Chain A
Amino acid sequence: MQPLFLHPRDVDIAAPHLFWAAPPDAVLVESLATLGQITPALVVETGGRPILAAGSRRAAALRQIRGSALCALAVSLDGPADNDGYAGYGGHAGHAGHTGHTGQAGHTGHTGQGGQEGHTGHAGHDGQGGPAPAVSPALRLGLYYLASNQGRAVTDAMAVAAGRYFAAHASLDDFLRLAGPYLFAADDRRARLVAQWLGLPPELDALLASGHVPLGSGGQLAALDADTRAALTPLLAAVRWSRGSLTGALTWITEAARLAGEPAAALLARCGVLELPHRGLSPNDLTAGLLAGLRRLRYPALTTLEARFSALSRELSRGSRVKLRPSQGFEADAVTFEVTVKSPAELVKAGAALAAMAASPVLPQLLTIAHDDPDGPVGEAPA
């Protein structure tokens, strides 16, 4: 096969099927300048402007090196039907040649392409007979790109970017069947999570890429209505959420909205958590503040009791090392006092502190803390 030599500006390096395209780094530019292009890019000849199928970083880097040409091999968009090669393509372990983007990043993208012929009999072949549907040119371009990047570590955001491209041209099932083997190991549960994430508007992908929202939260976010999601977006972007924290936060806000019979957006606007990101708090304090605010929204009575208990217990135990705990779930009119001592003298001191607490007018308030209805008296007086 004769390589083509193209001016790097004659190819589109930002086409949608180049979904992982990124600007070249200095190392790649330097390598191309000193060693030349070791691995050809892939293009599809169209009779007009060729379509770059793989090698966008190389092309972009070569644009920076005056007078250089992009060496490319031509591939065809005509190919075997769906049941004749591509779905099983990623299943083969033989493409060890795809050593990926280490070193001269992007230069090794397509080695091993010649092996495609042999990859028949893939797992997706149902053997049901009848004409198999052709893989569309758009899908084939996506698959070329994935194949040329095989061996590269695929982050969650990359898998979603690939999913966006394929989902625009095929069903989710076809995306997973055709592209899945390039993206996920056989037992990788990310395939399901990526499929869930694709139910979200693409604007949220940036939060995944930036590490603010974990892939595993996609399903829960997708279940929210668009207004709630929009109202939450500033909070999603405010901290780097762990899946556990975000699950708690989303559960609280949706349940609180359901119980209040109000849109979540209205509750959020009222409860003050939307202002927290603008207070200059540390990331940890901001996360804690957001979670506490949303928990208050969901459990107003419980959090009010907790706050009252903690204020009164601080007042009662001030100056001592005694720790106070309420009864389990505030079920009993009881308080547990806890103190650790390392010497008889410390015990004497703790004893004196306890005696002072016993005489304090705060103690009866603490013991009867659950007598107060956090929302005040409702309905009629007791019989």
Chain B
Amino acid sequence: MSGALWDITALAVDAAVADTAMAARARTALPQAQETALAPGDPLPTAPAGGRVLHIKAHKGRFLRPCPATRHYRCCGYQIIHIGENCPMDCSYCILRAYFRDKTLTAFANTGAMFAELAETFGRDISRPFRVGTGQFADSLALEPITGHTRELLGFLADYDNVTLELKSKTADLTWMAANPRPDRVLPAWSLNAPAIVAGQERDTAALETRLAAARTCAAAGFRVCLHFDPICFFAGWEREYAAIIDMIFDYLSPADIAYMSLGSFRCLPELPGRLTAEGRELPDYMLGEFAVGADGKKRLLRPLRVRQFRFMVAHLAGHGFSRGLYFCMESDEVWRAVFGHTPRELGGLAAYLLDCARNPGG
């Protein structure tokens, strides 16, 4: 490690975005990084001192994308604004491992083009509410102190009352609050996990206490927060571990502070364990569970075992008075029924239900 922020020792800026505000902010935030101006076709530089490159570039395709779902599992209707690629943290279960082979981080600086596209979508019918997030292939806030991406976005969204923005992170970054957004239109969100999983399977993420302290700061400022248990892992002692983090949540927050909370069982492309061992990492116990390949081609824990875990967590959360806004990420009607006794359809559809949770505190 070089000691630089996220170990970024090289800043590569495409000529097309060299004069953007984001490029300027990155230069200021990374004064020690070796800067390279890239003409079209230039290769990325090698980062000095074994660090990583932050590549500031323009994104060519669409910025707003539906959350990748399949027809076999119930999706929450979330839409994601593509702000960049790759993550400086390292979680053994991360899907990004399948997409990115190197450590290079990418941030899209052509925010003008992004806002033009978003304005067209969000402005077409301002009575239509949207629930959106950032970072399909990245943590929402990991690079925020460097790029100021979210602050820019929040400035733009100030004109769109119909849009609720969720900022999902494993950092405790709150610099976006400087944009002074409407508290009822921003949902700061944190992914949580069992303390043993955080300790053993996440690298460079914020401690659970730090994440929850940041959530408490947001709640005190009038925001409601979202929490995500994803992936829930099956390992010896999981009951004790997940009970501990659930108990910890309510040391920091009250149920009313939480807009919604997702539960997602560990699932992965069948090749993920091989990728991990190819990197020289030991296969974690939770990847040795009893998996079946689901209809979406992903390995997931055998259904009765998932249901067992979900029931445990739902009951434990209910014991703390939290049940409204609890939902499953990518689960079948069978699992919904087995755990909640109803399907998303009976809630009026998951997307509508979560929009309601996002926008109406009382329910």
* Residue contact B304 to A374, C-beta cutoff 8 Å: yes
> Chain B residues near A332 (CB, 8 Å)?
295, 332, 334
Tell me if A383 and B340 are in contact (CB < 8 A).
Answer: yes
| Cα of A377 to Cα of B292 in the assembled complex, Å | 21
Q: Contacts of A379 on B, CB cut-off 8 Å?
A: 239, 308, 311-312, 315-316
B247 within 8 A of A: no
Asked if A373 lies at the interface with its beta carbon under 8 angstroms from chain B, I say yes
How close is A265's CB to chain B, nearest CB, in angstroms? 19
30 pairs, A vs B, C-beta closer than 8 Å: A259-B285, A261-B236, A300-B290, A302-B302, A328-B292, A328-B293, A328-B294, A329-B292, A329-B293, A329-B300, A330-B302, A330-B304, A331-B300, A331-B303, A331-B332, A332-B295, A370-B334, A371-B338, A372-B304, A378-B239, A378-B308, A379-B308, A380-B312, A381-B311, A382-B311, A383-B311, A383-B315, A383-B317, A383-B339, A383-B340
B292 cross-chain contacts in A, Cβ below 8 A: 302, 328-331
Instruction: Tell me whether A305 is interfacial, beta carbon within 8 Å.
Output: yes
Q: Which of B290, B293, B295, B323 contacts A383 (CB 8 A)?
A: B323
Bitwise, B303-342 to A at CB < 8 A (1) or not (0) is 1110110011011111100010000000010100011110
Q: Which residues of B contact A382 (CB under 8 A)?
A: 311, 314-315, 338-341
Within B37-83, the residues touching A (CB, 8 Å) are: 72
Residue of B nearest to A371 (CB): B338
Contacts of A371 in B (CB 8 A): 304, 338
Residues of A contacting B220 in the complex (Cβ-Cβ under 8 angstroms):
none
With a CB–CB cut-off of 8 A, which chain B residues contact A377? 308
Q: Does A299 count as interface, using CB distance less than 8 angstroms?
A: yes
Q: Is the CB of A301 within 8 A of B311?
A: no
Which of A328, A331, A333, A378 gathers most chain B CB within 10 Å?
A331
From residue B66, how far is it (CB to closest CB) to chain A in Å? 23
User: Per-residue 0/1 for A131-155: is the Cβ within 8 Å of any B Cβ (1 yes, 0 no)?
Assistant: 0000000000000000000000000
Shortest distance in angstroms between B260's beta carbon and chain A's nearest beta carbon? 15
> How far does the alpha carbon of A378 sit from the alpha carbon of B72 in the complex, in Å?
27
**A330 partner residues in chain B, CB cutoff 8 A:** 292, 302-304
Find chain A residues with CB under 8 A from B332 CB. Answer: 331-332
| In the complex, chain A residues whose CB is within 8 Å of the CB of B312 | 378-380
Collect the chain A residues with CB atoms within 8 Å of residue B316's CB: 379-380
In the assembled complex, the CB of B153 is this many whole angstroms from the nearest CB of chain A, namely 36
Please indicate the chain B residues that have their CB under 8 angstroms from the CB of A328 in the complex: 292-295
**With the chains together, A328 CA to B297 CA distance in Å?**
10
B98 on interface, CB distance cutoff 8 Å: no
Task: Find chain A residues with CB under 8 A from B269 CB.
Answer: none
Is A305 in contact with B315, judged by CB distance below 8 angstroms? no
Q: Are B295 and A258 in contact (CB under 8 A)?
A: no
Number of A interface residues, CB 8 Å? 28
- Give the shortest distance, in Å, between B159 (CB) and chain A (any CB): 40
Give the top 4 A-B pairs by smallest Cβ distance, nearest first.
A329-B292, A380-B315, A379-B312, A383-B318
Residue of B nearest to A333 (CB): B334
Query: When chains A and B are docked, how far (Å) is the Cα of A40 from the Cα of B343?
Result: 88
* Contacting residues of chain A (274-333) with chain B, CB-CB under 8 angstroms: 299-302, 305, 328-333
**What B residues does A383 contact at CB under 8 A?**
311, 314-315, 317-318, 323, 339-340
Instruction: Confirm or deny: B4 has a beta carbon within 8 angstroms of a beta carbon on chain A.
Output: no
- Tell me, rounded to whole Å, the shortest Cβ–Cβ distance linking A267 to chain B: 14
In the complex the two chains form, is A381's CB within 8 Å of B295's CB?
Answer: no
Chain A 319-358 interface residues, beta-carbon cutoff 8 Å to B: 328-333
A329 touching B294 in the complex, CB below 8 Å, given contacts A258-B285, A301-B302, A382-B341: yes
A267 CA to B305 CA, complexed, in Å: 22
Q: Does B95 contact A (CB under 8 A)?
A: no
Q: A318–B70 Cα gap in the complex (Å)?
A: 37
Least distance between A298 CB and chain B CB atoms (Å): 8
Q: CB-CB < 8 A to B317: which residues of A?
A: 383
- A25 at interface by CB-CB < 8 Å: no
Q: Give chain B interface residues in 249-306, CB to chain A under 8 Å.
A: 285, 288, 290, 292-295, 300, 302-305
**A225 touches B (CB below 8 Å):** no
Would you call A305 and B239 a contact (CB within 8 A)?
A: no
Q: Which residues of B contact A372 (CB under 8 A)?
A: 304
Hey, which chain A residues are within 8 Å of B341, CB to CB?
Answer: 382
Task: For residue B291, give the distance in angstroms from its CB to the closest CB of chain A.
Answer: 8
**A331 and B304: CB pair below 8 A?**
no
Of the candidates A261, A373, A381, which one forms a contact with B304 in the assembled complex, judged by CB atoms under 8 Å apart? A373
In the complex, residue of chain A having the shortest beta-carbon distance to the beta carbon of B318? A383
Q: Which listed residue (B308, B315, B339) contacts A373, Cβ 8 A? A: B308
B324, chain A: closest CB distance, angstroms: 11
Q: Which residues of A contact B239 (CB under 8 A)?
A: 378-379
Residue of A nearest to B310 (CB): A382
* Chain B minimum-CB-distance residue to A334: B334
A381–B294 alpha-carbon span in the complex (Å): 26
Given contacts A328-B293, A329-B292, A373-B307, 15 further A-B contacts (CB under 8 A): A255-B288, A258-B288, A305-B302, A331-B292, A331-B294, A378-B239, A378-B308, A379-B311, A379-B315, A379-B316, A380-B312, A382-B315, A382-B338, A383-B314, A383-B339
Residue of B nearest to A304 (CB): B304
Inter-chain CA distance A6–B292, complex, in Å, is: 71
A301 touches B290 (CB 8 A): yes
**Does B236 lie within 8 Å of A259, measured CB to CB?**
yes
Measured in the bound complex, the distance between the Cα atoms of B304 and A302 in whole Å is: 9
Residues of A within 8 A of B290 (CB): 299-302
- Distance from A88 Cβ to chain B, minimum over Cβ atoms (Å): 36
Q: In the complex, A249 Cα to B354 Cα: how many Å?
A: 46
CA distance A343 to B324 in the complex (A): 57
Bound-complex Cα distance A348 to B68 (A): 45
CA distance A300 to B312 in the complex (A): 20
Which residues of B are found within 8 Å of A255, using beta-carbon distances? 288
Q: Given the complex, which residues of B lie within 8 Å of A258, measured CB to CB?
A: 285, 288
